[in-house]
Amino acid sequence: MELSEKLVRGEGRFVDDIQMPGMLYLGFARSQYARAKILKISGAQLTHKEVNFEVVEVGEGATTGGPAALSHPVLANGHVGYVGQPVAAVYSDDRYVAEDLIDSVEIEYEPMKAIVDPEDSLKREVMYPGVKSNAIVDRYFGKEFTPDPSDIVIERKIINRRIATNPIEPRGIVAAYDGHKLTVWVSTQSAHSIKGGLSEALKMEPDRIRVVQVDTGGAFGLKGGLFPEYVVACYLAMKERRPVKWIETRREHLLASRPGRGVVANLKLYAKKDGTITGLKGEVIVDNGAFTGGSGEFSPMFIARQLAGAYYLPNAYVRAVSVLTNKAPQGPYRGAGRPEAMYFIERLMDGLADKLKMDPVALRLINAAKETYTSPLGMQVEKSRQFLESAIKELNYEKYRDRENVGFAFLILYHATAGGESARIKVENGRLKVWTGGNAHGQRHDIFIKTLLKEELGVPEDIVDVLKGDTDQLEDGVGAWGSRSSMVLSSAVIVAAGKIKEQIGKKHGKYTLKALLEGKWDEYEFFKYDKTESSLGANLVTVDMDSYGRVIVKECLSYYDIGRILDLDNAKGQNAGGAVQGIGQTLSEELAFDEDGLPLITSISDAGVLSADLVPKFGIKFHKSESPLPSKAKGIGEAPTIGVPIALSRAIEKATGKLIVETPIRPEYLLPEEKA
């Protein structure tokens, strides 16, 4: 049975479905304050005194070697930096009792004035003694330049506020220890990331840790990471020699997981009067949160480097900053810097078009890169003009332009292909077992893996078992994020299959399916790839507004270059799901805080996730320019979360005449004045 069918039938086995004899349930007493000293803890079973490990960054956007003072302790070390930070742990063999124990932990605090706003953080006192600045990253990209005095300038402050990743299934782990080996079952995007992170955090030899990915109910970047709760669960399993389970509640997810976005840009775009852009200056400020351990060290640089969009930008000088705030560490969320960068440049392009009274799509055409080049900010921008020409045609822009409130987005999606990926194919008793470094966490990896094996080896789909990530079955691996699976994972499968074919050829003279299935074969391939690939995309969105300023998204169309289409249904599903998230980010999703850093969103009903009645009609067309990889495919996962907020914001601008520079757009901003 296909994985997706199994899950829809309710036959999935998620981490909370795991039951083991003697299992302990772990719970966390969490900070009530955004910033405070801890004076006293009573009633806790585990505190920093005993469990003094630190979180290790893994997954997309992981960096190492940040300032040590900023590392996230798994349990608070004398002070807290955000509401929801784990302070102490409790456990019981009864899940209800474990929850009761959380309520019985008493923590005395000495509250301090929280740092909430990222720009304010740069003006405030340093958050920690011994830290020089609240900017944990402060770098410049590009080169200072002197703009032509006759150039037009568009200056904007543009904000993408923080949002929760909100997969249907929250975070969760089960850990067990037999006296030598620690085994972990986890809802994740990468078994190997978790293994590496645990090994480093717990200072354990890697071969004493096995990580198994169970069915994973959505992840969106979040679940590539290692979390304080996971380290504590493993520690407790080893200490008590009993299996330990921790399952996140939705409230914990909203308070203390790794939210995405949270970026402010102050940018100036320069252009000639004919619309040719000449330069970009300014700064990008990432709301890092109180500790490292997320992706806040990586994201300002990643965003700054992409700010040329898909255009030819001759000059650029951009400061990339990440600042400490009293919030949970920022993490990757579907796009992880890509949607922010494209939102910033595309909003500037629309602003420039308005100033020059040009059609925004015509302006984009003038500036689309005619040849592939490396932008002054450091990313290779592929030639994009021809693609844009076909996008305009395929999306019927001319038809919509005069009739509808229409917004258009032009984007470049950088795939996280660097690092490559692994695959293992084992043939035994007439069946094939496949393990890969990245795995489905809501997609359908099993479908395209079976398609490729059918092509490469001629095996029917029903004798192939695609298994989940398991570090004991697969030597090494990276993970599923950044549009990489369709590109490097699929290539690893193709190469591994080729190796088996070659062996059979050597042994039997030529490859036959019979030889394959009657023999025993086992091939592991780590497909190495160092380059960051990219692909182009465009979105078109139309809206109407009701008399209360509510946005009715009418049509949401995509035109993406995904190279060879490995699985059409999966591609369509990625498009629809990503577009819904893009609309949510633009209209309603937000993790808001008050001036004391207290979260205002603590329930899923307030988190702004779209309800089905607000989901528009989707359309998708594909541009198929094959990638240089063996699979010939390109990625799609992040394209809609990049393009849809841009096109939607522009469509709303057209419908209301109001400048849109923030997501989500606050409802009061869109309320139309009444005609007298």
Partner 1 sequence: MNPPAFEYFAPTGIDEVIDILAKYPGEAKILAGGQSLIPLLKARISSIPYLVSLSEVKGLSYVDEGKEGVRIGAMTVDSDIENSELIRKKFPVLHDATEQLADPLVRNVGTIGGNLSHADPANDLPAVMIALDARISVQGRNGLREIKARDFFLDTFTTALEAEEVLTEVTIPFWGKRSGGAYVKFKKNTWNFSVAAVAVQLELEGNKCTRANIATTSVSAKSGRMESAEKILAGKELTHEVISKAASEVAASAQPTSDPYGTEDYKREILKRITREAIRKALSRAGEN
Residue 544 in the binding site for partner 1 (CB under 8 A): no
Helix (H) or strand (E) segment spanning residue 552? strand 551-561
Cα-based angle 281, 483, 216 (whole degrees, multiple of 5): 125
Token pair, residue 158, equals 């543009």
For partner 1, which is the closer residue by CB, 437 or 584? 584
Binding-residue pattern over the window 53 to 92 for partner 1, x denoting contact by CB under 8 A:
----------------------------------------
For partner 1, which is the closer residue by CB, 77 or 92? 92
Query: In sequence order, what are the beta bridge partners of 421?
Result: 527
C-alpha dihedral (338, 340, 342, 347), degrees to nearest 10: 170
Q: How many whole angstroms separate alpha carbon 541 and alpha carbon 458? A: 42
Q: Kindly identify the residues of this chain, within the stretch 448-487, that bind partner 1 according to CB under 8 A.
A: none
Q: Closest separation between CB of residue 609 and partner 1, Å?
A: 7
Q: Closest separation between CB of residue 576 and partner 1, Å?
A: 18
For partner 1, which is the closer residue by CB, 150 or 603? 603
Q: How far is CA 267 from the centre of its chain?
A: 24
Q: Which stretch binds partner 1 (CB under 8 A): 113-121, 126-134, 418-426, 667-675?
A: 667-675
In degrees rounded to 5, what are phi and psi of residue 39?
-95, -40
Give the neighbor-by-neighbor strand order of the sheet with 79-80. 79-80, 36-42, 106-111
C-alpha dihedral (469, 470, 474, 480), degrees to nearest 10: 20
For partner 1, which is the closer residue by CB, 165 or 213? 165
Residue whose pair of structure tokens reads 């917004």 in the numeric block: 407
Q: Closest separation between CB of residue 10 and partner 1, Å?
A: 17
For partner 1, which is the closer residue by CB, 478 or 652? 652
456: closest CA among 426, 425, 498, 491?
A: 498
Residue 19 in the binding site for partner 1 (CB under 8 A): no
Which residues, 6 or more positions from 337, have their beta carbon under 8 angstroms from its beta carbon?
Answer: 61, 295, 298, 299, 302, 303, 306
Residue 550 in the binding site for partner 1 (CB under 8 A): yes
For partner 1, which is the closer residue by CB, 157 or 550? 550
Q: How many whole angstroms separate alpha carbon 195 and alpha carbon 183? A: 10
Asked whether 634 and 563 are in contact (CB, 8 A), the reply is yes
Residue 103 in the binding site for partner 1 (CB under 8 A): yes
Report helix angle 639-656 to 338-356, nearest 10: 30
Handedness of CA 372, 375, 379, 385 (dihedral sign): negative
Binding-residue pattern over the window 143 to 172 for partner 1, x denoting contact by CB under 8 A:
------------------------------
Residue whose pair of structure tokens reads 């479908």 in the numeric block: 447
For partner 1, which is the closer residue by CB, 531 or 666? 666
Among 590, 638, 653, 662, binds partner 1 (CB under 8 A): 590
Binding-residue pattern over the window 240 to 279 for partner 1, x denoting contact by CB under 8 A:
---------x-x----------------------------
DSSP secondary structure code for residue 295 in this structure: S
83: closest CA among 590, 606, 594?
A: 594
Token pair, residue 170, equals 């929250």
Residue 667 in the binding site for partner 1 (CB under 8 A): yes
For partner 1, which is the closer residue by CB, 168 or 612? 612
Which residues, 6 or more positions from 96, have their beta carbon under 8 angstroms from its beta carbon?
Answer: none
Q: Closest separation between CB of residue 86 and partner 1, Å?
A: 17
Q: Which stretch binds partner 1 (CB under 8 A): 192-200, 201-209, 546-554, 616-624?
A: 546-554
Q: Binding-site residue total for partner 1 (CB under 8 A)?
A: 33
Asked whether 553 and 545 are in contact (CB, 8 A), the reply is no
Q: Closest separation between CB of residue 534 and partner 1, Å?
A: 34
Q: Closest separation between CB of residue 99 and partner 1, Å?
A: 5
Residue 552 in the binding site for partner 1 (CB under 8 A): no
Residue whose pair of structure tokens reads 């029903």 in the numeric block: 462
Q: Closest separation between CB of residue 287 and partner 1, Å?
A: 17
Which residues, 6 or more positions from 160, have their beta carbon under 8 angstroms from its beta carbon?
Answer: 261, 262, 263, 339, 340, 343, 585, 645, 662, 663
287: closest CA among 329, 253, 337, 254?
A: 329
| Helix, strand, or coil (residue 646) | helix
Asked whether 191 and 469 are in contact (CB, 8 A), the reply is yes
For partner 1, which is the closer residue by CB, 534 or 586? 586
Among 295, 588, 631, 656, binds partner 1 (CB under 8 A): 588
Among 43, 45, 95, 314, binds partner 1 (CB under 8 A): 95
Residue 548 in the binding site for partner 1 (CB under 8 A): yes
Which residues, 6 or more positions from 423, have their beta carbon under 8 angstroms from its beta carbon?
Answer: 434, 435, 436, 437, 474, 489, 492, 493, 495, 496, 524, 525, 527
Among 37, 393, 531, 666, binds partner 1 (CB under 8 A): 666
Task: Give rounded-to-5 percent helix, strand, coil for the chain.
Answer: 30, 25, 40
For partner 1, which is the closer residue by CB, 96 or 205? 96
Q: Closest separation between CB of residue 95 and partner 1, Å?
A: 5
Helix (H) or strand (E) segment spanning residue 250? helix 250-256
Q: Closest separation between CB of residue 583 and partner 1, Å?
A: 11
For partner 1, which is the closer residue by CB, 425 or 591? 591
Q: How many whole angstroms separate alpha carbon 262 and alpha carbon 298? A: 13
Which residues, 6 or more positions from 455, have their beta carbon under 8 angstroms from its beta carbon?
Answer: none
Q: Kindly identify the residues of this chain, within the stretch 593-652, that bind partner 1 according to CB under 8 A.
A: 600-601, 603-606, 608-614
Q: How many whole angstroms separate alpha carbon 464 and alpha carbon 441? A: 19
Asked whether 299 and 286 are in contact (CB, 8 A), the reply is yes
For partner 1, which is the closer residue by CB, 365 or 614? 614
Question: At residue 441, what is the residue type?
Answer: H
For partner 1, which is the closer residue by CB, 57 or 287? 287
Q: Closest separation between CB of residue 14 and partner 1, Å?
A: 14
Q: Which stretch binds partner 1 (CB under 8 A): 98-106, 109-117, 366-374, 388-396?
A: 98-106
Among 10, 19, 68, 96, binds partner 1 (CB under 8 A): 96
Among 100, 120, 465, 626, binds partner 1 (CB under 8 A): 100
For partner 1, which is the closer residue by CB, 99 or 461? 99
Q: Closest separation between CB of residue 117 and partner 1, Å?
A: 16
Binding-residue pattern over the window 491 to 530 for partner 1, x denoting contact by CB under 8 A:
----------------------------------------
Q: Closest separation between CB of residue 554 and partner 1, Å?
A: 17
Residue 429 in the binding site for partner 1 (CB under 8 A): no
Q: Closest separation between CB of residue 647 and partner 1, Å?
A: 20
Q: How many whole angstroms separate alpha carbon 134 and alpha carbon 607? A: 29
Q: Kindly identify the residues of this chain, within the stretch 390-419, that bind partner 1 according to CB under 8 A.
A: none
For partner 1, which is the closer residue by CB, 349 or 601? 601
Q: Closest separation between CB of residue 600 and partner 1, Å?
A: 5
Residues forming contacts to partner 1 in the complex (CB under 8 A) are 95-96, 98-100, 103, 249, 251, 547-548, 550, 587-588, 590, 592, 600-601, 603-606, 608-614, 666-668, 671, 674
